Amino acid sequence: MGIFDKLKNLVKKEEQEELNSYDKGLEKTRKEFVSKLNLLTLKHNRIDEEYFEELEDILITADIGVDTVMSFINRLKKRVKHENIISSEDLKEIIVDEMFIIYVDRDIIVNKICYAKEGPTVILMVGVNGVGKTTTIGKLAYQLKQEGKKILMVAGDTFRAGALEQLKEWGEKLEIDTLYKEDADPSSVVFDGVTKAKEEHYDVVLIDTAGRLQNKVNLMNELEKMNKVISRIIPDAPHETLLVIDATTGQNGISQAKSFQAITNITGIVLTKLDGTAKGGIVLAIKESVGIPVKFIGLGEKEKDLKVFDVEKYIYGLFKDWGEE
Q: What is the DSSP string of 216-264?
A: HHHHHHHHHHHHHHHHHHSTT--SEEEEEEEGGGTHHHHHHHHHHHHHS
> Same domain for 63 and 205?
no
State the pLDDT at residue 125: 96
Domain boundary pick from 108, 133, 157: 108
State the pLDDT at residue 124: 97
Q: What is the CATH number of the domain that holds 284?
A: 3.40.50.300
> Same domain for 97 and 132?
no
β-strands 204-208, 151-155 pairing: parallel
Is residue 69 included in any domain, yes or no? yes
User: In degrees to the nearest 10, what's the CA dihedral of 300, 304, 309, 312?
Assistant: -90
State the pLDDT at residue 325: 45
C-alpha separations of 150 from 53, 131, 270 in Å: 53, 26, 22
> Same domain for 29 and 172?
no
> Same domain for 195 and 282?
yes
> Same domain for 154 and 197?
yes
Q: Identify the bridge partners of residue 240 per DSSP, sorted by sequence position.
A: 123
Count of helix runs (H) and strand runs (E) in the chain: 13, 8
State the pLDDT at residue 144: 95
Is residue 115 included in any domain, yes or no? no
3-class SS string, 91-144: HHHHHHHHHHHHHHCCCCCCCCCCCCCCCCEEEEEECCCCCCHHHHHHHHHHHH
Mean pLDDT by 10 residues, the chain (325 residues): 55 68 88 89 91 93 86 92 90 86 67 89 93 94 95 91 88 95 90 97 96 75 92 95 92 88 92 89 85 91 90 86 61
State the pLDDT at residue 277: 87
DSSP letter for each residue of 128-194:
-TTSSHHHHHHHHHHHHHHTT--EEEEE---SSTTHHHHHHHHHHHHT-EEE--TT--HHHHHHHHH
Domain that holds residue 291: 121-312
State the pLDDT at residue 2: 52
> Same domain for 151 and 49?
no
All residues at 6 or more sequence positions from 205 whose CB lies less than 8 Å from its CB, including other chains = 120, 121, 122, 123, 151, 152, 153, 154, 193, 194, 197
Q: What is the CATH number of the domain that holds 38?
A: 1.20.120.140
> Same domain for 138 and 64?
no
- What is the sign of the dihedral through the CA atoms of 228, 230, 235 and 238? negative
> Same domain for 147 and 293?
yes
Termini Cα distance of the chain: 16
Is residue 116 included in any domain, yes or no? no
DSSP state of 282: H
3-state SS, residue 215:
coil
Helix H or strand E encompassing 297: strand 294-298
> Same domain for 267 and 170?
yes
3-state SS, residue 51:
helix
CB atoms near residue 134 (< 10 Å): 26
Total structural domains within the chain:
2
DSSP state of 46: B
> Same domain for 98 and 139?
no
> Same domain for 104 and 180?
no
- Cα 29 to Cα 61: distance, rounded to the nearest angstrom: 10
CB atoms near residue 307 (< 10 Å): 20
CA-based R_g, the chain, Å:
21
Burial (0-12, 13-18, 19+ Cβ within 10 Å), 212: middle
> Same domain for 40 and 170?
no
